[in-house]
Structure formats: structure tokens, C-alpha cells
Structure 1
């Protein structure tokens, strides 16, 4: 991995200390020109009562990776990034292992951005697909 990628991933992982992302075990693992990938362990901590991954945990993962991607691909010195809408479709249950969320930009406007986040299992099977809209608010 090149130095630039390592630096971005370190910043992303360092800012999660003491947050929901740390609580859920979310770790940013890859970044490219138009995407960011994070992983999350599937343990009882993120299960619903019947032992499968809770949809809310999947949505938290999706919003975390999409918002972090917005932060990376916008000028964070000039803007705050906030999620303003998220929609999720859960297509497969998972009880253990890890899930991987890949955020890819669909639209990068000056004010709003639209992200597609696909959550897959370790074998690459689709678990959930989410769409996240973020807004860039100018820092004053």
C-alpha cells in the first residue's frame, strides 16, 4: 500500500476513537480515487435478538463509510459533512464473520453528494445495499 493510502486510512481510523464506529468495531481498510472500504465484525454485539446482523448496524456501517468518503473527497478544511438521507435494502442475513462496506460516489455536487454503499460478506455475497445522501456545509 502506498504512503498516501496509508495516511488517509490512518486518519480515518484515528478519528473513530471513542465513537460509534469504535463501539461497532468498524475499521477503514482501503481507499481509491472514488471509493472507501471499511469492515465490521459480525458478533453478538451487532446481532438482533435472533442472532443475525442487525439492519441498524448495517446502516450505521454504511453511513460511517459514506460520510468518511465524503470527508476524504471534499475539502474538509472548508466543509462539514453531514448525512441527510439514507435508504437500505437488506438482502441476506449473516450470523458471524465480517462484513465489508464499499462506498462509491454516484454524484458529486457542490452541495450534495450521492453514495452507493454495498455491504458484502467475506465471500463477496451481497448482504445490503444502501444509498446515502450527504451535504457539504461551509465552515464559517
Structure 2
């Protein structure tokens, strides 16, 4: 996993120790690159499908929220943390197998709020969903 050099050591320890959290581990999310402004992760479709065999819409959202939350926590810095206050998703296409890749870009990196947009794509590069998340930054 690629991380910025100036990352809060406590956050690095948490990411390494939990591999992104229990749900991310259960879903097979692999964080490839993490920063406040640009993050990338991959997730298998297998194990995350709904009853008719398509990648579950909630899995898209978990992937987007995982990236948006970690990206916001990186921006928050030492002694602060991020709390999600809003999320929405638009699903444009379905997928039945393979691996999806999510790219998270910062829209706003403020003192108290961060907003990120994550685009999930299939192996052919087709957009599957767009997730927008806003996090409130708080002091510990």
C-alpha cells in the first residue's frame, strides 16, 4: 500500500493493524494507494454479490465509504478524526464477476469538512457507480 510520507503515525498503525477495519477485511478490500486527495482500492466481486449474482449495491457504498473515510482521516491529521455525515451513490452499470477498482478524489478538503467522490469501475474500465461522501473533522 502506498502512503504519504507525512502521515499520522497513529493512523498508519491503525491501518496496518486492522487492514482498514473489520468490514473492509470481510469484503476483501485491498487499499492500493492512500492520500487525502487521491486514493485507490480494489475489491473482488465474488463474496460480495446479491441474490441474483450481481455485485451488491451496498458493497459499492462500503468501498466508497472506506476510501472516503480514510482519505478524510489522512487530511484531518494528528489529534483529529473524521466522522461520516452524508453519503449517496448512483449505480450506473452492474457486474457479475472479477475485481472492481475504486478511485477516490477529493472535492473539498476543508478545516472542518471533507467531501470525496469515488468512482467504481470494472476490469474493462466501465463506470459502475459514483459515490459521494462528506466527513466532519473533529478534534479528539
Scaled to the shorter chain, the TM-score interval is 0.7 to 0.9
| Alpha-carbon distance in structure 1 between the residues aligned to 2:35 and 2:139 | 25
The Cα shift of 1:123 comes to: 1.7
Aligned CA RMSD, in angstroms, stands at 2.4
In structure 2, the gaps of 5 or more residues are none
Find the counterpart in structure 2 of residue 81 from structure 1.
82
| Alpha-carbon distance in structure 1 between the residues aligned to 2:75 and 2:130 | 21
Q: Deviation digits for residues 86-109 of structure 1, max 9, x if unmatched?
A: 000000100100111111100111
**TM-score, normalising length from structure 2?**
0.85
Find the counterpart in structure 1 of residue 105 from structure 2.
104
Find the counterpart in structure 1 of residue 125 from structure 2.
124
How many residues are paired up? Answer: 135
Give the 3 Å change call, closer, same or farther, for CA 108–23 of structure 1 in structure 2.
same
| Alpha-carbon distance in structure 1 between the residues aligned to 2:74 and 2:27 | 21
| Alpha-carbon distance in structure 1 between the residues aligned to 2:45 and 2:101 | 10
Secondary structure at the aligned position of 2:58 is classed as helix
Would you say 1:70 and 2:72 are equivalent positions? yes
| Alpha-carbon distance in structure 2 between the residues aligned to 1:4 and 1:113 | 18
In structure 1, the gaps of 5 or more residues are none
Find the counterpart in structure 2 of residue 91 from structure 1.
92
Q: Deviation digits for residues 8-64 of structure 1, max 9, x if unmatched?
A: 9x7645433660000000010124572010110000x21110000000011011000
